[in-house]
Amino acid sequence: MLGFLSARQTGLEDPLRLRRAASTRRVLGLELNKDRDVERVHGGGINTLDIEPVEGRYMLSGGSDGVIVLYDLENSSRQPYYTCKAVCSVDRYHPDVHKYSVETVQWYPHDTGMFTSSSFDKTLKVWDTNTLQTADVFNFEETVYSHHMSPVSTKHCLVAVGTRGPKVQLCDLKSGSCSHILQGHRQEILAVSWSPRYDYILATASADSRVKLWDVRRASGCLITLDQHNGEKSQAVESANTAHNGKVNGLCFTSDGLHLLTVGTDNRMRLWNSSNGENTLVNYGKVCNNSKKGLKFTVSSGCSSEFVFVPYGSTIAVYTVYSGEQITMLKGHYKSVDCCVFQSNLQELYSGSRDCNILAWVPSLYEPVPDDDETTKSQLNPAFEDAWSSSDEG
Per residue in 251-306, pLDDT (tens digit) is 999 999 999 999 999 999 999 999 999 999 999 999 999 888 889 999 999 898 89
Among 119-133, 194-208, 360-374, the least confident range: 360-374
The answer to whether residue 369 sits within a structural domain is: no
Q: What is the pLDDT of residue 69?
A: 97
Q: CA-to-CA distance for 69 and 105, rounded, in angstroms?
A: 10
The answer to whether residue 209 sits within a structural domain is: yes
- Which amino acid, one-letter code, is at 257? G
The model's confidence at residue 18, banded by pLDDT at 50, 70 and 90, is confident
- Which amino acid, one-letter code, is at 318? V
Which helix (H) or strand (E) covers residue 115, if one does? strand 114-119
The answer to whether residue 14 sits within a structural domain is: no
The answer to whether residue 10 sits within a structural domain is: no
Is the pLDDT at 89 greater than 50, yes or no? yes
pTM: 0.89
- Across the range 17-22, mean pLDDT stands at 84
Q: What is the pLDDT of residue 178?
A: 82
The answer to whether residue 179 sits within a structural domain is: yes
Containing structural domain, residue 286: 26-363
Q: What is the tens place of the pLDDT at every residue in 93-116?
A: 999 999 999 999 999 999 899 999
Among 43-52, 234-243, 303-312, 384-393, the least confident range: 384-393
What's the structural domain count of the chain?
1
The answer to whether residue 5 sits within a structural domain is: no
The answer to whether residue 389 sits within a structural domain is: no
The answer to whether residue 386 sits within a structural domain is: no
| CATH assignment of the domain containing 221 | 2.130.10.10
CB-CB contact of 384 with 28 (8 Å): yes
The model's confidence at residue 180, banded by pLDDT at 50, 70 and 90, is confident
